[in-house]
Structure formats: C-alpha cells, structure tokens
C-alpha cells in the first residue's frame, strides 16, 4: 500500500507500484466582472494537492461539500484543466498532452458520476448509452457489441430485458448500475467514483457499494472513491484522504484513520458517524461556523477559523503533511 508522499518526495515517474501520481495539483476558477469582463478574483478549489494511488488500490477522498473533492477527480481525468501541477498516469504526465494524445488515455480512465439520471441521455435506450463507448473506442466488432452490453448489464446485476428501455424507466439504484456498466465498458484501469451513492436512498447505497467492491476485485480496478460521508468509505477503501477547502488535512490507511484519527477536522467528521452498536456513542465534536469561501480562504491553515485547537501560529504557517506513523500523514502544527 502506498503511503502518501508530499510533492518533494514523490515516487519517481514510472515506478511500477503506482498507477497514479499527483504532484502539487492546483485548480483555480476565474471570476470575471466589470465592463471589460476581466478576471477580478479566483475560486481556489484545489490548492497544492499531492498523493499517489497504487495499482489495484481503492483510495477514499472525503470532506464537506466545497472542499474540492469533485474538482480533484475531474481534474485527474482532464475533464477540468489543471491550473498547475502534474498528474502522472502509468508514468506519463497527462497534463501536457494535447487532445489527440489524451484520447489514448480516455479508455484507461473512466468516471462514475454522482447523479445517475443527469449523466444518462434521457432520449437514448440503454443499448445505445453503453454502446457509444464501445463504438467510440472501436472495441469489438459491431455485430458482437450487443453481447458485450448484455454481459456488462449482467455484471452489474441487471438483465438483457432492459436493453430497450429509457433511463426514466429505472429506479435511482438501477440507473447508477447502468452508469457503472458504461464506465466499465472500455475495461478501464482507473475509475473515479464521484459520490456514486449520495443521490441514492440509504437502503440502496449498501447494494451499490457492495457491487463496486465486487467489481474492484473482479476487474482489479484502481479507484478514487469520492464521498462526503466517512461511513460510506470505511469498508471499501484501503486508504482515506481527508480534504478541507482545497487542501489535504490527513491521509492514513482506512483502519488506522477510523481507529486513531489525529487531525481535529477528521475527528469532527468521524464524531458525526453513528456507531451501529446499541448503547455506544462517540463524543460529538461540533465545529463552529461554516466552511469559509474558497474565493478568500484563511491564511496559514485553512481550517484554523473552525479549529478547536487553533493557536496564533496557525494563521502564519501552512502546515506540511508530516508522518506520525507508518503511512499516516497529518497537516497540523497543534494536533494534540
């Protein structure tokens, strides 16, 4: 399992164990205004993020809404262009590739979107929705593609009877299964699952998570699993990255993060997760105020305005990620 490594200590490009290496990734969105429509400010969605993901590893990316999780996922796939930084996939820096060069990597990198209805064309039948990916990447002979589509549907728990139905004829859980089948159609090596269960009923969430876990082992997938609920990622992820306002607060193996969190923000998030044992409760950590605007984040540690352990130095210093145990990194100068 790969330990998180800061940009200055990244695994060398081409290292066999890492499929994905992210180095000092930044994404700012310009805000325009005035008569001349000039850039007057920027939304600092992602600000200097670095991490690696091993082949076959599932890494969870968690944090409150507005922390930059989805922007990280979309920027890794070049659905959003990074402002700066590097993303190495299989040893190749894909941030500098042109459209033609990037197309070779599209087949290897896929995304499962958060909203299973908005991501599916309501005017197309399921055979067409999944078939587009096969045709675009010229996978298989045209006469054999329907068999492949049926196979994909069966792998996600659906049947061939659904081929000629439209998205509105399915439940939310079924639509998300179709989205998963579409992502797997091109046999990707890496999948970004962008909050794939947040739009689903609680009763369906466990089914989809179990399905993704089964598919991960079946296809040896490498996955970035984005969620705002720490309870969702506990059982599927090997490691967890905790983000707040565009920066990484803590990185640790999943079991260690849940049993021995260090950063005050991680402790607050975990305190809100219910324990499925009668009579057992966690001590609730309540954060003051709301998450600040990414247009004007706090100086120093971006979490300091809500942190119960903030000291004067927190306003001056951007805390680096320091290793507190094997594979466990924390960005805090006063963790307690």
Helices (H) and strands (E) in the chain, counts: 9, 12
Q: At CA 235, angle to CA 231 and CA 240, rounded to 5?
A: 75
Q: How far apart are CA 320 and CA 331, in angstroms?
A: 5
Model confidence at 139, pLDDT cuts 50, 70, 90, reads confident
User: Would you kindly state where each structural domain of the chain is located, as residue ranges?
Assistant: 7-108+188-330
pLDDT reading at 322 higher than 70:
yes
Neighbours of 121 (CB within 10 A): 11
pLDDT in tens, 260-275: 999 999 999 998 776 6
Rg (CA), the chain: 21
Q: Which of 238, 137, 235 is nearest to 182 (CA)?
A: 137
For residue 298, pLDDT beyond 60: yes
Examine the pLDDT at 2 and tell me if it is beyond 60: no
> Residue 253 — left, alpha, or beta (φ > 0 → left; ψ -120 to 50 → alpha)?
beta
Q: Distance between CA 57 and CA 217 in Å, rounded?
A: 10
pLDDT score at 8:
35
Q: Please, what is the Cα angle at 89 between 99 and 252, to 5 degrees?
A: 135
Q: Which of 258, 252, 265, 272 is nearest to 325 (CA)?
A: 252
What is the pLDDT, as a whole number, of residue 200? 83
- Classify strands 322-325 and 328-330 as parallel, antiparallel or unpaired: antiparallel
Element (H, E) at 80: none
Indicate whether 219 pLDDT > 90: no
Task: Identify the band that residue 9 occupies on the pLDDT scale cut at 50, 70 and 90.
Answer: very low
Give the DSSP letter string of 213-267.
HHHHHHHT-EEEEEES-HHHHTTT-SEEEEEETTEEEEEEEHHHHHHS--SHHHH
Compute how many other C-beta atoms are within 10 angstroms of the C-beta atom of residue 268. 19
Neighbour-count burial for 135-160, b at 16+ CB within 10 Å, e otherwise: eeeebeeeeebbebbbebbebbbbee
Given this model, what pLDDT does residue 275 score? 64
Least reliable range by pLDDT among 13-22, 61-70, 139-148, 150-159? 13-22
Q: What is the pLDDT of residues 223-257, one digit of tens each?
A: 999 998 788 888 889 999 999 999 999 999 999 99
The tens digit of pLDDT for each residue in 58-75 reads 999 999 888 999 999 999
In the chain the first and final C-alpha atoms are separated, in Å, by: 27
Q: Is 258 exposed, middle or buried (0-12, 13-18, 19+ CB in 10 A)?
A: middle
Is the per-residue pLDDT at 135 higher than 70? Answer: yes
pLDDT of residue 11: 30
DSSP 286: P
The CATH fold assigned to 7-108+188-330 is Rossmann fold (3.40.50)
pLDDT at 282: 63
CA dist list (Å): 304 to 47, 308, 316, 319: 16, 8, 10, 11
Residue 15 has pLDDT above 60, yes or no: no
Dist CA 115 CA 198 (whole Å): 8
Specify whether the CB–CB gap between 205 and 172 falls below 8 A: no
Question: What is the phi-psi region of residue 12: left when phi exceeds 0, alpha when psi lies from -120 to 50, beta otherwise?
Answer: beta
The average pLDDT across 169-183 equals 92
Q: How confident is the model at residue 5 (pLDDT cuts 50, 70, 90)?
A: very low
Q: How confident is the model at residue 22 (pLDDT cuts 50, 70, 90)?
A: very high
- Weakest mean pLDDT among 9-18, 31-40, 117-126: 9-18
Nearest-angstrom CA–CA distance, 227 and 12: 29
73 vs 112: CA distance, rounded Å: 10
Backbone φ, ψ for residue 282 (5° rounding): -95, 150
């Amino acid at each position: 399992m790969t330990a998180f490594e800061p940009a200055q200590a990244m695994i060398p490009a081409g290292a066999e164990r890492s499929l994905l290496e992210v180095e000092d990734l930044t994404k700012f969105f310009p805000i325009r205004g005035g008569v001349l429509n000039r850039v007057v400010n920027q939304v600092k969605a992602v600000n200097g993020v670095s991490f690696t993901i091993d082949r076959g590893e599932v890494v969870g990316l968690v944090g409150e809404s507005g922390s930059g999780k989805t922007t990280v996922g979309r920027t890794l796939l070049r659905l959003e262009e990074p402002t700066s930084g590097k993303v190495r996939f299989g040893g190749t820096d894909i941030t500098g590739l042109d459209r033609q060069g990037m197309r070779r990597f599209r087949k290897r990198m896929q995304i499962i979107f958060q909203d299973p209805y908005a991501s599916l064309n309501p005017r197309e039948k399921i055979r067409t929705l999944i078939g587009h990916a096969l045709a675009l990447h010229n996978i298989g002979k045209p006469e054999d593609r329907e068999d492949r589509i049926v196979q994909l549907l069966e792998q996600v728990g659906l049947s061939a009877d659904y081929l000629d139905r439209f998205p509105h004829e399915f439940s939310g859980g079924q639509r998300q299964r179709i989205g998963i089948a579409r992502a797997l159609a091109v046999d990707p090596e890496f999948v970004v699952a962008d909050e794939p269960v947040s739009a689903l009923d609680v009763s369906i969430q466990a089914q989809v998570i179990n399905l993704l876990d089964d598919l991960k082992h079946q296809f040896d997938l490498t996955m970035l699993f984005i969620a705002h609920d720490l309870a969702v990622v506990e059982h599927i992820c090997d490691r967890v990255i905790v983000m707040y306002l565009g920066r990484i607060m803590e990185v640790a193996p999943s079991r260690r993060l849940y049993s021995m969190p260090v950063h005050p923000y991680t402790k607050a998030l975990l305190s809100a997760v219910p324990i499925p044992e009668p009579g057992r409760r966690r001590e609730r950590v309540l954060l003051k105020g709301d998450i600040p605007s990414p247009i004007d984040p706090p100086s120093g540690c971006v979490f300091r305005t809500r942190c119960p352990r903030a000291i004067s130095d927190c306003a001056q210093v951007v805390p680096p990620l320091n290793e507190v145990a094997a594979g466990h990194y924390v960005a805090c100068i006063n963790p307690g």
